[in-house]
Amino acid sequence: MINFSIPPQHLSLQKRIQDFIAEEIIPLEKDPRQGPHGPDSDFRDELILKAKNWGLLSPHVAPEWGGLGLSHLGRAIAFEEAGYSPLGPVAMNVFAPDEGNMHLLEVVATQQQKDKWLRPLASGLIRSCFCMTEPSPGAGSDPSMLQTTATPVKGGWLINGLKWFITGADGAVLAIIMAKIPDVGATMFLSSMDAEGITLERNMDTLDRCFPGGHGVVRFTNLFVSQADVLGEVGQGLINAQVRLSPARLTHCMRWLGAARRAHDVAVSYAQKRHAFGTAIGRHEGIGFALADNEMDLHIARLAIWHCAWVLDQGELGLKESSRTKVIVSEALWRVVDRCVQVLGGQGVTSETIVARIFADLRAFRIYDGPSEVHRWSLAKSILKTKKVEEFA
């Protein structure tokens, strides 16, 4: 049976992160060193140093690499608190794509690859990107449509192709690249982003602005990668992708739960103070019911996350559980933040509070790491395959 109370060993960590976010990070939320493509490198370095001084840097990786070795349930608690500020996950080095890339490297990489790439990633010294998504007719939600190729040559491969929506590409030092070896299959490769043959063509202007480096379009032109640059086994790229993507969907849920909770707290405070028609607006059912619905959606989202984290801590997380949780949480949290904008009225669409920023950042959550429609389709296939329904005459 799952115990939904916070384990004692995580209570002190939760409080420490809450204090860190309140004292060190929230006061910096309007720092001008942020633009449409996230915090700049100097600002990120400053945030990373603050988390390091509090002993909160990269808490998800093993102590061997400088982290706290948190279980998935521990991550659920820590990442929610980090997400309470848009800058919290950046400061604690638990934001996408680096957090997922660190997890992938820790599970799949060789010792030499870990020493070269995981250690500086976990220390916050470098950033990384995960190059999988492609423009049409390439791979998006359907990874079998992968168009980027890795052609065998003496000593390794030459990679050619075009990727887009590559989060963090601008300023990344490491690229994890998914490419298709002819007659073999999808394979992951590691490369320095300054290698000859990699071009960052442009940054895409997107609704969100929270990811350092934004979202880039990256072209590979005869990029040479050696045998030592293969991440995992040759031809096992799609399998290894699930090592990263299934937990990463869950950690997205954890972080955005904290953001939605922040928006709700702002809306509650406003509903208590703002008066109309003779009383605080929160006492009107139209507002009070919206806040009540928020509480229920936040509760449901947290239960879904904790259940999935518990499953991960017991063993492998199935695609069904991953898809189900991603849809439940992303859509519940979107409803929460949308209601918060409505409760705030005109204030909700300005930068006077953090809510409008959370609204813009969180909207993409229903799309990245698989849009809700794709996960519903996957779930439907699973239901029709496994459920046996009795026929009635």
Q: Which domain holds residue 67?
A: 8-95
**pLDDT tens-digit series, residues 308-324:** 998 888 887 677 888 99
Does residue 69 sit in the same domain as residue 201?
no
Tokens 């989060």 appear where? 167
Counting residues of the chain whose pLDDT is more than 70, the rounded percentage is 97
| Rounded Cα distance, 54 and 175, in Å | 29
Query: How many structural domains is the chain composed of?
Result: 3
Number of CB atoms found within 10 A of residue 237's CB: 26
222 found inside a domain: yes
Q: What is the DSSP string of 240-300?
A: HHHHHHHHHHHHHHHHHHHHHHHHHHHHHHHHHH-EETTEEGGGSHHHHHHHHHHHHHHHH
For 196-200, the CB contacts below 8 A with 24+ separation are 196/223, 196/224, 197/158, 197/159, 197/221, 197/222, 197/223, 197/224, 198/223, 200/169, 200/170
Q: Which residue among 95, 117, 141 closes a domain?
A: 95
Confirm whether 80 is domain-assigned.
yes
Mean of per-residue pLDDT scores for the chain: 94
Average pLDDT over every residue of 261-282: 97
In a domain, 100, yes or no: no
Are residues 138 and 22 part of one domain? Answer: no
Band of pLDDT at residue 142, cut at 50, 70 and 90: confident
Cα 42 → chain centroid: 22
What local confidence, expressed as pLDDT, does residue 380 receive?
93
In a domain, 324, yes or no: yes
Q: What is the DSSP letter of 58?
A: S
Please tell me the distance from the alpha carbon of residue 292 to that of residue 211, in angstroms, as a whole number. Answer: 31
Comparison of pLDDT for 71 and 1, the residue scoring more: 71
Note the pLDDT tens digit of each residue in 37-88.
999 999 999 999 999 999 999 999 999 999 999 999 999 999 999 999 999 9
Is residue 173 domain-resident?
Answer: yes
Give the number of other Cβ atoms within 10 Å of residue 324's Cβ.
19
pLDDT at 391 over 70: no
Same domain, 372 and 261: yes
Task: Tell which of 95, 112, 142 closes a domain.
Answer: 95
* Mean pLDDT of all residues in 233-251: 91
Q: Average pLDDT for residues 255-280, to the nearest whole number?
A: 97
CATH number of the domain where residue 161 is located: 2.40.110.10
Q: What percentage of the chain has pLDDT greater than the value 90?
A: 86
- End residue of a domain, out of 233, 256, 288: 233
pLDDT band for position 388 (cuts 50, 70, 90): low
Integer Rg of the chain from CA: 22
Q: How confident is the model at residue 7 (pLDDT cuts 50, 70, 90)?
A: confident
Query: CB–CB of 64/241 below 8 Å?
Result: no
CATH (domain of 317)? 1.20.140.10
The answer to the question of residue 109 being in a domain is no
pLDDT value of position 389? 57
Question: Is the pLDDT confidence value at 393 over 50?
Answer: no
Residue type, 255: R
Task: Write down the pTM of the prediction.
Answer: 0.94
